[in-house]
Each structure stands twice: as structure tokens, then as C-alpha cells.
Amino acid sequence: MSEREVLEVYLRERGQKMTSPRETVLDAFLKLERHVTAEELLAAARRIDPGIGQATVFRTIKLLAEAGLAREACPDDGARRFEHAYRHEHHDHLVCVECGAVVEFKDEAIERAQQAVYRRHGYAPSGHRMELLGLCPDCAKASKRK
């Protein structure tokens, strides 16, 4: 199914409809293939439809997350950011504590270690988020110059 179809099914199952503003927010979100704040999504949606409201964007990003199309990314770095979830492979994040730069990565050794932790503690895995914090190369260089 396409992202639009996923959202339509999700809404229909809850007695809601796909509206033009929701479609605008979805289109704007799908064009932003990066971590995005609600404010950035609002700006992108307003480039499509200048009349789109802030509340509409905030409510729709919540619907996108509930429908499995978006997920919160890097939740501890200030403003909540969202990334694509549907048909996007799992990955972890490396976050610069100075400038906020984010690197997405996947490391099979880390994934295996996490599975071992689940087994050791008798947990059934249902997902995880990992963020490694540090200074990006540019910020590390700037820090050494100070």
C-alpha cells in the first residue's frame, strides 16, 4: 500500500476521513526525507498550501505516527523530530550534542548484542531506539580550537 492508502485505512477504521489539509501535510512530510520538527513540517506544508494551520499540522503528524507512517526520532535533543517509518529500515542515531547533526547508522554487532540482552532478561522484543551522543567532527575541531 502507498502511504496515502495506509493513512486512509487508518482514518477510516477510526471513523475519520482523509481531508485536503491532511493530504497536504502527508505530501509535505513525504517530500522531507530527513528528521523534521513539526515547525519545519508546517513551513513545508505552507509552501504547498499557505492557508494550512499549525494545529492541523500538529494533529496530523500525530496521526501519521499512530498510523505507522512516522516515528519520533532523537526525542531527547530538544524539539521533537519525526522521521519516515513506513517502508524505511530500522536504524539507530549518532547525535552531535553541540550542533544537533544526526547520522543514521545500522550496526549488526549492536543489533546482535541487543537481542542477547532481550534473551538474557527474558524480554520479548518489540522495538528499540538507540542514540549515541557525542561531538561531530566539525564541532570536535572547533572545540579543540577554543
User: What does the pLDDT look like over 76-112, one tens digit per residue?
Assistant: 556 676 665 556 567 787 878 888 777 878 888 988 8
The whole-number average pLDDT for the span 111-121 is 91
C-alpha count within 13 angstroms, C-beta hemisphere, residue 33:
3
Is the pLDDT score of 35 beyond 90?
no
For residue 105, give the C-alpha cell. 547508522
Q: How far is the C-alpha of 54 from the C-alpha of 106, rounded, in Å?
A: 34
CATH 3.30.1490.190 residue spans of the chain:
91-146
| pLDDT-based confidence at residue 12 (cuts at 50, 70, 90) | very high
pLDDT of residue 86: 58
Q: How far is the C-alpha of 101 from the C-alpha of 86, rounded, in Å?
A: 23
Q: Environment class of residue 14 by beta-carbon count within 10 Å: exposed (0-12), middle (13-18) or buried (19+)? A: exposed
The model's pLDDT over 36-85, given as tens digits with 9 standing for 90+, comes to 888 999 999 999 999 999 999 999 999 998 998 888 776 555 667 666 55
pLDDT of residue 10: 95
Highest mean pLDDT among 14-23, 33-42, 121-130: 14-23
For the chain, the C-alpha Rg in angstroms (whole number) is 18
79 Cα distance to chain centroid: 12
CATH of 1-88, one of 3.10.105.10, 2.40.50.140, 1.10.357.10, 1.10.10.10: 1.10.10.10
CATH 1.10.10.10 residue spans of the chain:
1-88
Task: Name the pTM for this structure.
Answer: 0.64
The whole-number average pLDDT for the span 114-139 is 87
CATH architecture of 91-146: 2-Layer Sandwich (3.30)
For residue 115, give the C-alpha cell. 537481542
